[in-house]
């Protein structure tokens, strides 16, 4: 079974387009391409990755699909389409010709309408995904977890995954409301969760491995090892830790799981969810 990093990004840095990468994050204010990641994956015993959109344009899809076509370790792409567009069915039909296009994502965390996922036009787009075998990555902040049950419950045959544990407030050690919401949404069997992005929600300069344990306890109890997948969120993770240090936190935690559970977590679940080729 492949060992898979289910969530990372590539970009050619553009200070205008990528304005979210502020000066506090200057360590990632430059290009990150496959030649930068390949050796890092090898050093960490990871066989492949899923490249996820970082810009909401179809041009980004072309960019990522090109990288995936030229680099065997990129096993799939999560792109972006305008799910609210009148021609969404045609756009999805177009992307279905690319075997490496696995699913789509929208930056819901940045939307002024916090409940955008429940609006009819957005839901119409979600309803078209399964026809073409596409997954959907849910990128939200904790305040939006309250809408996920209605969202995911409305499409019981659609595969969903929450990115980055829904970004709990690890730095502030707030957990109660997030934990309650996570447990509620985890009841939906078509919803997975990525153990990714934790390091950037902690204190970048002063985090300790034990800071993450309560949050990991919640998601492993709620989802079980068969609906969780490892993701690095590289290169964003570099604002707080290098790839190895970030991965070590998770590795230490999951070492108590059975061999089968660890195999599922480190690659089996991502391979199944995204229908990745071995």
pLDDT at 213: 98
* Confidence category of residue 24, pLDDT binned at 50, 70, 90: very high
Q: Which two tokens stand for residue 8?
A: 């990372």
How many domains, in total, are found in the chain?
1
pLDDT tens-place string over residues 85-144: 999 999 999 999 999 999 999 999 999 999 999 999 999 999 999 999 999 999 999 999
Does the pLDDT value for residue 41 go beyond 80? yes
Arithmetic mean of pLDDT, 225-235 = 98
First-to-last alpha carbon distance for the chain, in angstroms, is 7
pLDDT at 26: 95
* Confidence category of residue 48, pLDDT binned at 50, 70, 90: very high
pLDDT at 278: 75
Burial class (CB within 10 angstroms; exposed 0-12, middle 13-18, buried 19+) of 139: buried
What percentage of the chain carries pLDDT values higher than 90?
99
Arithmetic mean of pLDDT, 51-77 = 98
- Does residue 133 contact residue 276 with C-beta atoms inside 8 Å? no
CATH (domain of 203) = 3.20.20.140
Residue 139 is part of which domain span?
Answer: 4-274
pLDDT at 59: 97
Please name every residue paired with 32 in a beta bridge, in sequence order, or none if there are none. 11
Does the pLDDT value for residue 180 go beyond 90? yes
- For 30, residues 6+ apart whose C-beta sits below 8 A from its C-beta are 13
pLDDT at 1: 83
Does the pLDDT value for residue 257 go beyond 90? yes
């Amino acid at each position: 079974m492949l060992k898979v990093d289910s969530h990372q990004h590539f970009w050619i840095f553009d200070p205008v387009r990528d304005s979210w990468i502020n000066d506090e994050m200057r360590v990632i204010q430059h290009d990150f391409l496959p030649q930068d990641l390949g050796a890092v994956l090898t050093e960490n015993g990871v066989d492949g990755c899923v490249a996820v959109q970082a810009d909401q344009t179809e041009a980004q899809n072309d960019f990522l699909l090109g990288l995936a076509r030229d680099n065997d370790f990129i096993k799939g792409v999560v792109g972006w389409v305008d799910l609210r567009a009148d021609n969404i069915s045609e756009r999805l039909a177009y992307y279905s010709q690319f075997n490496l296009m696995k699913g789509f994502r929208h930056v819901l965390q940045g939307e002024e309408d916090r409940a955008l996922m429940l609006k009819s036009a957005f839901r119409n787009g979600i309803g078209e995904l399964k026809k073409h075998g596409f997954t959907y990555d849910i990128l939200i902040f904790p305040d939006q977890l309250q809408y996920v049950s209605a969202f995911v419950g409305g499409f019981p045959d659609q595969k969903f995954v929450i990115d980055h544990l829904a970004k709990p407030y690890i730095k502030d050690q707030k957990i109660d409301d997030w934990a309650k919401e996570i447990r509620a949404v985890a009841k939906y069997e078509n919803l997975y969760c990525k153990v990714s992005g934790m390091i950037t929600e902690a204190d970048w300069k002063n985090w300790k491995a034990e800071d993450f344990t309560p949050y990991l306890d919640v998601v492993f109890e709620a989802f079980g090892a068969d609906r969780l997948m490892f993701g690095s969120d590289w290169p964003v993770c570099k604002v707080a830790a290098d790839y190895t240090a970030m991965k070590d936190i998770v590795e230490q935690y999951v070492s108590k799981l059975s061999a089968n559970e660890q195999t599922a977590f480190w690659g089996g679940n991502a391979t199944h969810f995204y229908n990745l080729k071995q």
